[in-house]
Amino acid sequence: MSQNQTNVTNVDERELSKQIEDLLVARNLRGMKTVQPALPSGYYLRAARTLYKCKGHVLIGTGFPVVDTFETDGPVGAIALYKALEALGATPVIVCGPPVSQALMAEYRVHEIRVGEHTERELEAFQALYNYNPDAVLSIERPGQAADGGYYNMRGESISARTACFDTFVNHAKCPTIGIGDGGNEIGMGNITEALKDLDIHAASTQVDELLIADVSNWGAYGLIAFFSLWSGRDLLGEIKPLEILEYLSGLGSVDGVTRENELTEDGLPVEEGKSVIAGLRALIGYKD
């Protein structure tokens, strides 16, 4: 137990997971609180257990195209997860297409996949899965294929020409798969197709073993890291610096997915919102500032 952590030896982990799940959809920005009953409670706990055991490669798919660049939601959480998993002894690899792949590869292990429709999507996935033999495949704020095979943003606009296909990695993985999303058009949302019917979205149909929802996908990563912090006795949540990550991404040309502006925000929200979520999660697992 770390110096600023209160006694958490008797934590009911299933109840904690429910508290985390509720906290992360409390704002109901895009209807995730509304669809939450479609998911069996405990999804953050189950996914965290899977990832906590990983000691080999973990493939983290992220990067949602916005105009000619990428949005801040997704990469912030991917970087936070990358660092946490690395601290726990795993070897994370961020899987994405340009321009986000080119932006990140100077600082992180990146596997680049091709953008747009092409005939080698399946081969691309099979080769990578064979080479990495991952312990888990995780998607955070990755566009998921709709029923018609296309990719769509929150405005209903087709983004197929600018999207690299990570669905094939999820579909062909021989290891556990996890999806994090916040609106219904991300990989994993195929798990709750019926519940999404009332949302104004081109819903994704790609399924995963465990779907995690949050008001902002980056915050879903923090929900997982809360359990990592609890189990490891290391304040991994407290080590996350959202502003620093946003400044790093902004310097590489990121934009807010809602405003489409190069600014230090995520889904139209100031960085203080993400910090508040981290503070709430730390409080749930017994940390005090």
Residue-wise pLDDT for 229-282, tens only, equals: 999 999 999 999 999 999 999 999 999 999 999 999 999 999 999 999 999 999
To the nearest 10 degrees (0 to 180), the angle between helices 217-232 and 75-87 is 10
What does the pLDDT look like over 139-197, one tens digit per residue?
999 999 999 999 999 999 999 999 999 999 999 999 999 999 999 999 999 999 999 99
Cα 289 from Cα 277, distance rounded (Å): 14
Rounded to whole angstroms, the Cα distance separating 159 from 65 reads 7
Give the separation between CA 44 and CA 199, rounded to whole angstroms: 23
Judge whether residue 4 has pLDDT over 70.
Answer: no
Residue 147 φ/ψ, nearest 5 degrees: -60, -25
d(CA 68, CA 243): 23
> Contact, 227 vs 45, CB < 8 A?
yes
Peptide bond into 99 cis (omega under 30): yes
Query: Which of helix, strand or coil describes residue 210?
Result: strand
Q: Domain 13-284: give its CATH code.
A: 3.90.1640.20
Phi, psi of 99 (to 5 degrees): -85, -15
β-strands 69-70, 65-66 pairing: antiparallel
pLDDT of residue 116: 86
Which two three-digit tokens encode residue 39? 């998911």
Would the pLDDT of 209 be above 90?
Answer: yes
- What pLDDT shows up at residue 288? 80
pLDDT over threshold 90, residue 46: yes
Q: How far is CA 127 from CA 102, 114, 134, 173, 235, in A?
A: 20, 13, 12, 11, 36
| Strand, coil or helix: 122 | helix
